[in-house]
């Protein structure tokens, strides 16, 4: 089963708009290299899992992958061929809400070239534009 929360406060959430830039989770905290989002959007749990598999297959035990996003918003869908009305549909899948500037994945223990190639494989699977960022030295 794909990523999903154990418990949620509200079973069905409204869509809302993704406004502004990320103020939290916008710096590389755990690894040396990060993959930062440039666009707002939603990333499904299946996409996150596909990115995890692509990155771990490329790294092959050399470095460590950190996933900084978690799908905690449910997206509902109605069954096919149902008439209008009758309320909102059941939760279909889970998504992570991404703002511009959010660091999605991090790598540690690999060189710059290896991180660049690994994140290029991951970027092909993502629905948002991303860039490679480096950890800034702490003051």
Q: Total structural domains in the chain?
A: 1
In a domain, 118, yes or no: yes
In a domain, 50, yes or no: yes
CA-CA distance, 2 to 92, in Å (whole number)?
A: 12
Q: Give the residue from 69, 79, 63, 56 showing the smallest Cα distance to 127.
A: 69
Query: What is the pLDDT, as a whole number, of residue 51?
Result: 96
pTM for this model (two decimals): 0.89
pLDDT tens-digit profile of 90-125?
889 999 999 999 999 999 999 999 999 999 999 999
In a domain, 55, yes or no: yes
Residue 124 sits in which domain range?
33-76+93-134
Contact between residue 102 and residue 48 where contact means Cβ atoms under 8 Å apart? no
């Amino acid at each position: 089963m794909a990523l999903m929360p154990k418990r949620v406060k509200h079973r069905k959430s409204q869509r809302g708009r993704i406004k502004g830039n990320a103020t939290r989770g916008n710096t590389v905290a755990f690894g040396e290299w990060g993959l930062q989002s440039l666009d707002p959007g939603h990333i499904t749990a299946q996409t996150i899992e596909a990115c995890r598999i692509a990155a771990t297959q490329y790294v092959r035990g050399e470095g460590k992958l950190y996933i900084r996003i978690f799908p905690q918003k449910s997206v509902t869908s109605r069954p096919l061929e149902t008439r209008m009305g009758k309320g909102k549909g059941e939760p279909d899948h889970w998504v992570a809400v991404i703002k511009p500037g959010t660091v999605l994945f991090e790598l540690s223990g690999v060189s710059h070239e290896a991180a660049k190639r690994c994140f290029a494989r991951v970027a092909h699977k993502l629905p948002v534009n991303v860039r490679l960022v480096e950890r800034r030295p702490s003051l």
